[in-house]
Structure 1
Amino acid sequence: MTKFATLPEKHPLACAIAYDGLCTFEFGIAVELFALPRPELEHWYQFATVKAEPGPVRAVGGITLDAEDDLDLLQKASLIIVPGWRGADTPVPEELCAALRAAYARGARVASICSGVFVLAAAGLLNGKGATTHWRYTDKLADMYPEIDVDPDVLFVEGDRVYTSAGSAAGLDLGLHIIRQDFGAQVAASVARRLVLPAQRDGGQRQFVPRPEPKARVGSGLAALQDRIRGAIDEEWPIERMASAAATSGRTLARRFHEEVGTTPLNWLKTERVSRAAELLENGTIPLSDVWEACGFGSAETFRREFRKTMGIPPVRYRERLGVPSTV
C-alpha cells in the first residue's frame, strides 16, 4: 500500500500547500482542522504538507518549514488547501498552477484561505465562478480578474468543487463547512466545540470592515454639514433640513454628495446612524433598547432592519459577538 491510500469516503487525503513566505496562521488553520488526530472519530482525514517549491520554505515569523511531499502528491488529494498567498501582485509559479489544474481536473476539491484566492485565480480555477477573500483584497481581486464574481460580504463561497474564504479566521468557518459535508453536522459540531467556536457563524465579513472616513474635503461646506449632523445624529434630518443647514438647494446638495461622497445624502445618513449604533454597541454603556433612539432611527424595527442590512448581523448578535452583555 502506498503512503496515502485512496479512501476518499472514509479517509480523504487533505493536502496543505507550503511555499516561501508561507502565512503561518492560515497554514495552522489547515493543520488544526484536518491534521490533528481525532481518535474519538471512526473516520477522519489523512493529511500531508506539500511543498510548492524545493527545499525548506521560510514562513512568516522567522519559521523554516520542510516537508517530505511535493506537488506530485496532489494527484492523490481529495482536498487541497491554499493558505494566504505572499502578495496579490506576486506571480504564482506555473508549476503550482498546473498541479492545481491537474488535480482539479481529476476530481479534487480546492480551497483557499484569505489571499490564497489569488493562487486559484491565477490557475484559472475561478473563471466564471463566485469567490470571496479578505475585505482588503476584494476590489483588487475583482479588478485583476473581472471574470470572477467577487462577493465581498460573505465568510466563504462554494461552487463546483472550489471553495474560497474571506479573511484569515474565516478559514475556520470554511473548514468546518467542508467537514460538515464530508462527515456530517454532528462531527463538524464536535470539531467546533474542541476549537471553542460556533459550528456556524452568523453574518458575513461586513461586520469586521472598518467604517470609512468621510470623503468630503476638510473645510468644505459639505464637511461642516456632516459634522453638524453627526453632532445631532439623534434628531430628524430630512433632505430639506440638510439643504437649509448647508445654505443650498436640495438638488445642489444631492449633486455635491454624489461628487464628494459617492452616495445620496439620505444613504450617507443611514450609514452614519449605523456607524454610531455600532460604536454604542461596542461601548456597551447604554441598553440595547435605547440605541435606536440615540442614533435617530425612529423606531426599533427600523434600527434592526438597517443595522442588519449594513452589517450583515442583527444588533443583539453584534453586541454578543463582542462579549458585551445584551442589556435591555
Structure 2
Amino acid sequence: MRIAIIAYDGISPFMLSTPLAVFDEACPAHDHNVIVCAHGGRISAKHALGMTTGHNLQDAQTADLIILPGWRNADEPVLTAIVEVLGAAHARGAIVAGLCLGAYGLAEAGLLNGRRATTHWARIGDFGTRYPKVQTDPTAIFVDEGQILTSAGNAAALDCCLHLLARFSGMSAANSAARYLVVAPHRSGGQPQLTKRPVPAAGAETKVAEILNALWADPTGNPSLDELAARCGVSRRTLTRHIRARTGGNLSDLLRHARIARAQDALLGAAQGIDRIAAHSGFPDPQSMRAAFRQELGMTPTQWRARQRLG
C-alpha cells in the first residue's frame, strides 16, 4: 500500500512522526510504501527544524491513503494546494485522513459535508460553527466514515493510525505495532476524548493483566464478568473499570478484538474453511465472525483474506 503523509511549514514534529511510526517503524514486515510530501519538497517545522521531504504534493496523487497530520493554526486557512490534493484523492477513491486539526483541511475540501467528524476538543466548538454541514462529534477520539477519517488530538491521532493499520493489515498487526510503540492496545473511536481513568492498585492490576493476557491468548471461552471478578478478587464494577482503563473498551470489545486477531492468523495460514476458523477463534458461528469483521474492518473475512493475498 502506498501511503502519503502531507507536511507543511510549521508542522508539529510529533504529529508528523505519528503516522511514520505506525506505518513504517512499528511494522517493518508489512509492505507499506510511505512517503512524506510537501509543497516544494522542503519545509520548516516548529522549533526551527528544517527538513527536505524528497516528494512534492503532486507525488501524493498516486497514494492509496493520504494523511494530513494536523494544521499549524486553526485560525489560518489550510493551503489551497493541500485542499486540492485532498479533494482529488477522495475523487479517485483514495482514503483520506485528517489527524487533529487536519480535519480542517478535509472540511475545506468539502469532504466532511453530511458526515460525522471530530477534531481536538479545544477547537471542536469553532469547528462546528465554521462547518455547519459537518456532523461534529465532540466526544469521539476518532471517526471512521469509510473513505474519510478524522481524529482528535495527538494521542488520538495515534489511535486513528493504529485503527487504519488494523483495517489494512489486520488486528494482529495493529496490536503488534502498539506493543512495539509501548502504547495501549487498539482503542475504538468511541472512547471519550476527556476521561478520568483510575489508577488501579498494583495487586489488582497484576491480576487483571494476567486475565486479559490469558483471554487474548485463548478467546474461545465465554467467561462472565462475575466469573472473572471472582478470580481477580475484585468487584464486577472494579474489574470493568480496570478493563476500560487498560483497553479503552469493555469485556465484549476485548473478546471481539482477540477473536478477530486469531481468525486473521488462521486466515493467513493453511487453507481452512470459514466454519472451522470461526470455531477455532471463539465465534459461536460463521455469521458472528462475518459481523465482527464488518464492524471492525469494513469487510468480510473472505474479502480480508483476498486483500492480504493481493498485497
The TM-score, its normalising length taken from structure 1, stands at: 0.59
Distance 1:314 1:138, change over 3 A: farther
> Which residue of structure 2 lines up, in the alignment, with residue 20 of structure 1?
9
Larger radius of gyration: 1
Partner of 1:233: none
| Match of residue 134, structure 1, among 120, 141, 166 | 120
Structure of higher RCO (CA pairs closer than 8 Å, 6+ residues apart): 2
Partner of 1:182: 168
**1:63 is matched with which residue?**
49
**TM score, norm. by length of structure 2:** 0.62
- Cα distance in 2, alignment partners of residues 171 and 92 from structure 1: 19
Cα distance change on mapping 1:202 and 1:50 into 2, 3 Å: closer
The 5 A counterparts of 1:209-220 are: none
Q: What's the secondary structure of 1:111's corresponding residue?
A: strand
Secondary structure (helix, strand or coil) at the match of 2:122 reads coil
Structure with the bigger percentage of helix: 2
Q: 1:205 to 1:36 in 2, by over 3 A?
A: same
Residue 195 of structure 1, CA deviation: 1.2
Q: Tell me, yes or no, if the aligned pair for 1:166 and 1:205 is still in contact at 8 Å.
A: no
Is 1:50 aligned to residue 40 of structure 2? Answer: no
Amino acid at match of 2:69: P
2:97 is matched with which residue? 111
Say whether the 8 Å CA contact 1:177–1:188 is kept in structure 2: yes
- Alpha-carbon distance in structure 2 between the residues aligned to 1:319 and 1:33: 22
Change (3 A) 1:206 1:184: closer
Q: Deviations over 1:253-281 (max 9, x none)?
A: xxxxxxxxxxxxxxxxxxxxxxxxx59x4
1:57 maps to amino acid = I
Give the deviation of 1:54 after TM superposition.
2.3
Q: Which runs of 5+ in 2 are unaligned?
A: 205-234, 248-311
What CA distance in whole angstroms lies between the structure 1 residues aligned with 2:109 and 2:3?
Answer: 19
Structure 1: gaps of 5 or more residues: 1-11, 210-277, 288-299, 305-312, 322-328
- The percentage of counterpart residues that share the same residue type is 36
Equivalent residue, structure 2, for 1:6: none
Give RMSD over aligned pairs: 3.0
Q: Against the structure 1 CA distance between its residues 38 and 168, is the aligned structure 2 distance closer, same or farther, given a 3 Å change threshold?
A: closer
- Aligned partners of 2:17 and 2:88: how far apart in 1? 25
Q: How far apart, CA to CA, are the structure 1 residues paired with 2:26 and 2:144? A: 26
**Aligned 8 A contact 2:8 2:44 in 1:** yes
Equivalent in 11, 20, 25 of residue 31 of structure 1: 20
Residues 82 and 98 of structure 1: is their aligned pair in 2 closer, same or farther, counting only changes over 3 Å?
Answer: same
1:194 partner SS: helix
Aligned partner letter, 2:172: Q
